[in-house]
Structure 1
């Protein structure tokens, strides 16, 4: 009986992206058609959740893409705005998707945790005060809020978390 191992890996040419299916064509297509270019050009760092089993080809079961961004304080929640410069360096979780086969458990939170860990490491090296994510709909917005992100309270789907809060999230 072979052991199943899941690992986070930086996107590399040897990864087969074609079998990934999160149930949303936009995210599937972005991974298959644009992730390698974004990674190679430096517009986003793309990380994969890869399942490995003895004798079976590795399978991509999730991914996230992060990139640096600038965040305007006047668009942030009040709790975050007070601690920010007018424009602050930050990090965008540009994409985060999980294969249908792993839904219903803790893998979504684990993938988000990995994204936050990578952002905190990057912020420690190069700066960054805020993490931003744009939820695609209300259900996803509510999920990110349950993970500690803050909405603005106005009618949009952008959420925020201070990098200092992220450090606490990682080390409760």
Structure 2
């Protein structure tokens, strides 16, 4: 077998793993961290956010139900309820997704350089980008996060907050 298919398979697995990790940590941070919660709070209940990568099956689905963020498919609306709001953020190429999810390209830079396709409410997309920036500043070491972010906030009690968020990967 040639190395090219193995490399492509490895990248697909890596991108899928990173989407899963980012989804879980973002949901956890929205519950336990005030900075991330403040960014995601204005988004309406029933909002479904889909992060996908062009050329790859699957992706990440986040939804807000009863004020709480969860990963996975959104529940079907009950009869008589309004349909949920939807936001779709689509990486235009797997290489861009790989760089952004591997923290070599900032999500805000990818957004500004039009490397992402956004369908839905642009205001909600900006809240998502700012929440992801807050998350990156918390869970990444400063020497990795500083070049990725426009403004590194230098979070207070960073290690304790990051450990609390990472605990959510293990406990759900």
Compare the two structures and name the one with the higher strand fraction: 1
After TM superposition, the score normalised by the length of structure 2 is: 0.28
Which structure would you say has the larger RCO, counting Cα contacts within 8 Å and 6 or more residues apart?
Answer: 2
After TM superposition, the score normalised by the length of structure 1 is: 0.28
